[in-house]
Amino acid sequence: MFATQQGFDRRFFRPAAMGYKHVVPKPVRSGIRNVFSNLGEPIVFLNYLLQLKPGKAAETLGRFMFNSTLGIGGLVDVAKLPAIKLPHRPNGFGNTLALYGVKPGPYIFLPFVGPSTLRDLLGGQADGLVLPLAVGSPFDRLEYQAPRAVLTGLDTRAEADDDLRALFAGAVDPYATLRSVYLQNRVAEIQRLRGTRAKAAGGELDDPLADPASGATAPASDAPELSDPLADPAAISLPTATATPAPSERESAPELADPLTDPAASQANPRTPNPSSTPLP
């Protein structure tokens, strides 16, 4: 599935997204992005209420009113200006479920959707039903939903191109890398929503390939560390001098010299002449 999606993205989706970025002027793309973002502010407002955060809900409502009026229906994001200071805060039903303890469930990668989890996928579907059910037309009509999906998809893919290229450039396993980055980002978002720092069981998530859902860390080995004899002088064992046993009395006795080979011995001990070997006069 992931390989098929990557092939489709490389041949069709990325060229279309980059063509959209190069053909459509940046102010127009920003205006379209702002309009759709402003239409999503009521969903953000609703989820802040469900999360019992009335302050954030009031700020979201104020942002929606400023952009809908002064921003010409959200075409211009005036709420983020320094004079107002109401930036966009993404929020959704997936965050609400997570805040109340719903586990993320299995990781899912779907074509045209991208990385997600079962919880976030269901939460996104719930977010998409708010305006069609609460307002009705035109949000429940295909004439609105299809152009919105196409324009949002092209714009999101074009804006994320540099990040995706940098992410996959040195990745040995692109699927595992994308999965890990997505899960860690979601953990960080939920922890920020709770007002705490994202930590796993063994500390902060520093490993880009770590799975925050597992929370398992490898136990430390109890085996003693072997010292390197080439690096640790204390590990080099020097030969110990062995005490030479004292010689026995037989070994300590002086050795008798051979009179046939030792001239000094022949002078000290003259041999008695053999009568048979003495020449006759």
Q: What pLDDT, in 10s, does the model give residues 248-277? A: 444 444 455 554 445 444 444 444 444 444
Question: What does the mean pLDDT of the chain come to?
Answer: 80
Q: In this structure, what token pair is assigned to residue 218?
A: 């490898």
CA distance 96 to 103: 11
pLDDT band at 242 (very low <50, low <70, confident <90, very high): very low
CA distance 212 to 78: 37
Which residue shows structure tokens 């396993």?
Answer: 173
Count of C-beta atoms within a 10 Å radius of residue 45: 20
3-class DSSP assignment, residue 197: coil
The whole-angstrom distance between residue 176's C-alpha and the CA centroid of its chain comes to 9
In this model, does residue 1 exceed pLDDT 90? no
Q: What pLDDT, in 10s, does the model give residues 57-110? A: 999 999 999 999 999 999 999 999 999 999 999 999 999 999 999 999 999 998
CA distance 125 to 43: 12
- Position 262, amino acid: D
The closest alpha carbon to 78, from 91, 64, 58, 90, belongs to 64
In this model, does residue 29 exceed pLDDT 80? yes
Contact call for residues 97 and 119 (beta carbons, < 8 A): yes
pLDDT of amino acid 47? 97
Segment 214-238 mean pLDDT: 45
- Beta-carbon contacts of residue 167 (< 8 Å; ≥ 6 apart): 174, 177, 178, 181
114 Rama sector, left if φ>0, alpha if ψ -120 to 50, beta otherwise: left
pLDDT band at 197 (very low <50, low <70, confident <90, very high): low
Q: What pLDDT, in 10s, does the model give residues 119-159? A: 999 999 999 999 999 999 999 999 999 999 999 999 999 99
- Beta-carbon contacts of residue 183 (< 8 Å; ≥ 6 apart): 104, 107, 117, 211, 212, 213
pLDDT band at 174 (very low <50, low <70, confident <90, very high): very high
pLDDT of amino acid 112? 82
Q: Structural domain boundaries of the chain?
A: 2-199
Contact call for residues 148 and 128 (beta carbons, < 8 A): no
In this model, does residue 223 exceed pLDDT 70? no
Segment 22-38 mean pLDDT: 96
CA distance 216 to 200: 8
How many helices (H) and strands (E) are present in the chain, helices listed first? 12, 4
